[in-house]
């Protein structure tokens, strides 16, 4: 939560018990504590100055918006709350290693009897940070190198580069992030990337090289993202056993798409939430802004109840599909390690269902829905979930397929 320091308030005219006396002289009875708390909550104060110490390359104008509410505090308790909120906003910018708050009585010729000064003591991140790690998965080992330049131009901009060298494929990504001063939720980013994916069950290999731009902004309780993406896609076969459909789609294609995403997130944690919900609606329109791939993609995702996705267009393997899931997370049976290490684990029960089909556009919507409801694939299972701090979670699940169709893998 950080540190909030409030120094002596002796110069303030007060009523009630003296706050500047020694701790040994205080009567610590319950009535005295309630009276002193009432004095602190009702005491009017004026914030005269706000200082930010420790700045180097950061521009002060972008920080003014984040600490402006501190001047609106009416009493000491309100000031401490607003100072903590301002500290959280400063940390959210991603340019400071830590932020401390010091509240002191105002000094100088213009100091008021009830005037206070607030000082934010900050330490900036390094100009450049790097990371190195290895990853093993999908029958491939990779070495991942990362480079990050926070606060590039002094207004919370961020430049990130990541390079992955694997035993089978190589990928990279370069992104630039720029928030709007005073409105961190409104931000702009541009990305340049190359990503390769292998799908052995379909004998398919896909390489995407593209550029994308995103603009994010809030509206009421929702967050929206508008995105344009241009991709040069290359599809190929992994083995001679590839189906004719995969061979037919092999080669190069260009995709230009516009997408919109709306998110409502009230979860108390993104890793393993205990309460709240997530609703995510995404629409993608491809082919009308250039390129030779045309597609309309609409997906709806909600946590804790179900996951529903609906897609129409040119999709390898089928022209439409839907998928849904019901997940239940509970504490471990008999609660081993309750209040300690055992709180990091959860029992996971799930039920997944979905279907894939080709559409006859000469038929009506009812016929399309009927096809999507035929021979539904579904499965259920259980497992254990381990929360790895606030970064990620690890799942070990056992799945039992029930509804399958010929050719499924």
Domain-embedded: residue 222: yes
Residue 186: inside a domain: yes
The one-digit pLDDT tens for each residue of the chain (409 residues) are: 455 555 444 444 444 444 444 444 444 455 545 444 444 556 788 999 999 999 999 999 999 999 999 999 988 889 999 999 999 999 999 999 999 999 998 888 888 988 999 999 999 999 999 988 888 776 678 899 999 999 999 999 999 999 998 888 889 999 999 999 889 999 999 999 999 888 777 788 889 999 999 999 999 889 999 999 999 999 888 888 777 777 887 889 888 989 999 998 888 878 877 777 888 888 888 876 655 555 556 566 665 544 455 554 444 566 677 778 888 888 888 778 787 888 888 899 999 888 877 777 667 777 777 877 787 889 999 999 998 877 888 899 999 998 877 766 6
Q: Looking at the structure, tell me whether residues 164 and 302 fall in a common domain.
A: yes
CATH number, domain containing residue 97: 3.10.20.310
Judged on CB neighbours under 10 Å (0-12, 13-18, 19+), 103 is buried
Q: How far is CA 327 from CA 179, 305, 345, in A?
A: 35, 7, 15
Do residue 165 and residue 200 come from a single domain? yes
Q: What is the pTM of this model?
A: 0.74
Domain boundary among 124, 154, 182: 124
* Domain harbouring 158, CATH code: 2.40.160.50
Provide, for the chain, the percentages of residues in helix, strand and coil under a 3-state DSSP scheme, each rounded to the nearest 5: 15, 50, 30
Residues 254 and 354 in one domain: no
- Assess whether 86 and 164 both reside in one domain: no
Residues 286 and 212 in one domain: yes
Write the burial class of residue 340 (CB in 10 Å: 0-12 exposed, 13-18 middle, 19+ buried). exposed
Q: Rounded to an integer, what is the distance from CA 101 to the centroid of its chain? A: 26
Does some domain include residue 312?
no
Strand partners, 217: 224
187 and 53 in a common domain: no
Asked whether residue 145 falls in the same domain as residue 232, the answer is yes
- Give the bridge partners for 134, in sequence order: 143
Residue 65 lies in a domain: yes
Statement to judge: residues 283 and 142 lie in one domain: yes
Same domain membership, residue 261 and residue 136: yes
Q: What are phi and psi of 352, to 5 degrees?
A: -120, 145
Is 7 inside any structural domain?
A: no
Q: Which of 93, 109, 124 is the last residue of a domain?
A: 124
Same domain, 270 and 372: no
Question: Is residue 152 domain-shared with residue 262, that is, in the same domain?
Answer: yes
Residues 115 and 133 in one domain: no
337 lies in which domain range?
320-408
In a domain, 277, yes or no: yes
Domain count, the chain: 3
Boundary-marking domain end, from 255, 276, 306:
306
Q: Answer yes or no: is 98 within a domain.
A: yes
11 is a domain residue: no
């Amino acid at each position: 939560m950080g540190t909030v320091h409030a120094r002596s308030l002796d110069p303030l005219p007060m009523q009630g018990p003296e706050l500047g006396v020694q701790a040994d002289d205080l009567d610590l009875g319950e009535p005295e504590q309630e009276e002193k708390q009432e004095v602190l909550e009702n005491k009017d104060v004026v914030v005269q100055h706000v200082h930010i110490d420790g700045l180097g390359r950061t521009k002060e104008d972008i920080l003014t918006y984040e600490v402006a509410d501190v001047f609106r505090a009416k009493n000491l308790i309100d000031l401490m709350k607003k100072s903590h909120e301002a500290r959280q906003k400063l940390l959210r910018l991603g340019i400071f290693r830590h932020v401390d708050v010091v509240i002191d009585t105002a000094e100088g010729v213009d100091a008021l009897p009830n005037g206070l000064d607030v000082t934010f003591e900050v330490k900036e991140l390094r100009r450049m940070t790097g990371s190195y790690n290895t990853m093993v998965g999908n029958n491939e080992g990779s070495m991942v190198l990362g480079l990050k330049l926070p606060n590039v131009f002094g207004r919370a901009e961020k430049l990130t580069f990541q390079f992955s060298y694997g035993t089978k494929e190589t990928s990279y990504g370069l992104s630039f992030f720029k928030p709007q001063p005073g409105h961190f939720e409104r931000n702009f980013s541009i990305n340049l990337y190359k990503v390769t994916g292998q799908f052995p069950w379909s004998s398919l290999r896909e390489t995407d090289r593209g550029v994308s731009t995103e603009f994010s902004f809030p509206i009421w309780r929702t967050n929206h993202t508008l995105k344009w993406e241009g991709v040069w896609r290359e599809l190929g076969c992994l083995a001679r056993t590839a189906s004719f459909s995969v061979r037919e789609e092999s080669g190069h294609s260009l995709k230009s798409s516009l997408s919109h995403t709306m998110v409502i997130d009230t979860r108390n944690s993104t890793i393993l939430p205990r309460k709240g919900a997530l609703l995510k609606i995404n629409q993608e329109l491809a082919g009308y802004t250039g390129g030779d791939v045309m597609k309309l993609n609409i997906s709806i995702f909600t946590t804790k109840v179900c996951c529903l996705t609906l897609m129409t267009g040119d999709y390898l393997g089928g022209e439409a599909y839907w998928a849904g899931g019901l997940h239940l997370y509970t504490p471990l049976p008999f609660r081993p390690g309750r209040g300690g290490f055992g709180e990091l684990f959860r029992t996971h029960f799930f039920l997944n269902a979905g279907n894939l089909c080709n559409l006859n556009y000469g038929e009506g919507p009812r016929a399309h829905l009927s096809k999507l409801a035929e021979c539904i694939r579904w499965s259920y299972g259980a497992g254990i979930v381990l929360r790895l701090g606030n970064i990620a979670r690890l799942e070990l699940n056992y799945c039992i397929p029930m509804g399958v169709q010929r050719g499924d893998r």
